[in-house]
Chains A and B, each alone.
Chain A
Amino acid sequence: MRYEVANTVEEAVAILGQAESGLYPLAGGTDLLAQIRSGRVAPDGVVDLKRIPELREIVADDAGYRIGAAVSGAELGEHHDLVADWPGVVEAAELIGSTQIQGRASMGGNLCNASPAADSVPALIAAGALCSIVGPGGRREVAVEDVVTGPGKTCLAPGEIVAHFSLSRPQPRSGDAYLRLIPRSEMDIAVVGVGVGLTLDADGVCIACRVALGAVAPTPLVVPDAAATLVGRSVSGAALDDLATAASAAAQPIDDMRGTREYRVHVTGVLARRAAMIAAERAGS
């Protein structure tokens, strides 16, 4: 197996774009190196993206944040402004694995590995994040919810990489939150994950909302029907009941050893309600 280093986005695209290169992008390696070892994938080599400045930095300006696709969870958690503005995104990224995994695991890798249960993806979708994708054909901007097309599959063309994510500056009185259920308190794969992002008006009425679900369908789901239950209402009582019902209705989970279909459908509603309450509390403070 070959190991190549790219120092710029252009270099990465040039190496990965060679026809039949058989090379995979390498970010933190917490999925890829484990898959290579188990034989699940057998690339001819990897192209290390971690020396590319755009993929490694968090840039904040008036418009918002550009978060390098290979920034690790530990680094996200140390960025105080980002934590203050998008706590749901950071808490989701920080749920990935142990402290050791956090030292390497990136949101770019979490997205491109395209697991239905990837924790940071519903949170990014709920936050309305976009990602900047670069490849042989140039650069394009894609909403995070449009990237994953099936288990292990993305919309990336050969030679394309995710360079960075963009998040706007949150509107006043906005908050986001991510919750997942796992059978233990650390180090497991989500049975259900729910991200909620919302904005309140001065009276506490919800004026905008996004809801995204993880682990209950072949891809992370964005659920406008669930979001719509909160808009125009205060985030309490019957509005939350309706949100839970709509979120459960959108879940299309499988039965497996982590949980039955029925259980997952129920938990989806419970977590949607709780995540919305946390997001609303953050929006109000």
Chain B
Amino acid sequence: MKRHVSAIIDDEPLEFLCDDGQTLLDVLRDVLHKTGTKEGCGTGDCGACSVQLNGRLVCACLVLAAEAEGARVDTVEGIAAEGELHPLQRRFLEQAALQCGVCTPGFLVAAKALLERNNDPSEEEVRYWLAGNLCRCTGYDKIVRSVLDAAADLRGETA
């Protein structure tokens, strides 16, 4: 029998049906068709599936969809408010902080979670915070710069 779950996903109250053993990642992608959230490893190692669950950064591949009952889930698909790119998204684009792009949604969600807590992180803080997000293409440097620049944007220090 399918389980009925109600949650607020990207600011929208949603209901879905799932199997008890299904992960939140599987439901986001295969049931709700919110395929912005990616699957890299399925074991918590790569961060491609990063979402915020009740304001905590987590790997959606290590959460059961049933656990989301009554919860708030924020994915990469809610980051661009009303079609306006978030400073993180703008900086990633401008600085080409992505190549294949599979890791990008996870980096954006994780970096946004950091900047919500600390809008003036040091480079070291950014690198430690993002240590659970793997990228096979960019070499990380452009990602880290983009996050630092987006932080400056959010502090109103840049145009």
- Any B CB within 8 A of the CB of A37: yes
Q: Please tell me if the beta carbons of B44 and A34 are within 8 angstroms of each other in the complex.
A: yes
Chain A: interface size category = 20 to 34
Bound together, the chains give a CA A1 to CA B21 distance in angstroms of 5
B45 near A187: Cβ-Cβ < 8 Å: yes
Complex: A163 Cα to B131 Cα, angstroms? 31
User: How many residue pairs, one in A and one in B, have C-beta atoms under 8 Å apart?
Assistant: 83
CA distance A43 to B131 in the complex (A): 31
Answer whether residue B154 sits at the interface, using C-beta atoms and an 8 A cutoff: no
Measured in the bound complex, the distance between the Cα atoms of B42 and A38 in whole Å is 9
Instruction: Give the residues in chain B near A100, CB-CB below 8 Å.
Output: 44, 47, 50, 57-59, 110, 132
Whether the Cβ atoms of A3 and B66 lie closer than 8 Å is: yes
Residue of A nearest to B54 (CB): A103
Specify which chain A residues have a CB less than 8 angstroms from the CB of B3 in the assembled complex: 3
Closest B residue to A184 using CB positions: B131
Interface size on B, residues (CB 8 A): 31
> Which residue from chain B places its CB closest to the CB of A32 in the assembled complex?
B62
Residue numbers in A under 8 Å from B133 (CB-CB): 98
**Contacts A2-B20, A3-B21, A45-B20; A99 near B66 (Cβ below 8 A):** no
Interchain CB contact (< 8 A) of B110 among A37, A99, A104? A99
Query: Which B60-116 residues have a C-beta within 8 angstroms of A?
Result: 61-64, 66-67, 110, 113-114
* Contact of A33 with B23 in the complex, beta carbons under 8 Å: yes
Contact of A99 among B20, B61, B64, B132 (CB under 8 A): B132
Could you tell me which residues of chain A, from 5 to 53, have a CB within 8 Å of some CB in chain B?
26, 28-30, 33-34, 36-38, 45-46, 48, 50
Q: Taking A3-B64, A45-B20, A186-B128 as contacts, is the C-beta distance between A101 and B44 under 8 angstroms?
A: yes
Assembled-state Cα–Cα distance A74/B129 (Å): 12
Contact in complex: B20, A97 (CB < 8 Å): no
With both beta carbons as reference points, the residue of chain A lying nearest to B131 in the complex is identified as A186
Name the residue on A nearest B3 (C-beta).
A3
User: In the bound complex, do residue B58 and residue A103 qualify as a contact, i.e. CB atoms below 8 Å apart?
Assistant: yes
Assess whether A97 is in contact with B56, with CB atoms less than 8 Å apart.
Answer: no
Shortest distance between the CB of B6 and any CB in chain A (Å): 14
B45 to chain A: closest residue by CB: A187
B53 at the interface (CB under 8 A from A): yes
Q: How many Å from the CB of B140 to the closest CB on chain A?
A: 13
Query: Contact between B64 and A29 (Cβ–Cβ < 8 Å)?
Result: yes
Contact of A98 among B61, B66, B132 (CB under 8 A): B132
Q: A3-B21, A37-B61, A50-B67 are in contact. List 6 more A-B contacts (CB 8 A).
A: A46-B64, A97-B44, A99-B113, A100-B57, A101-B44, A101-B59
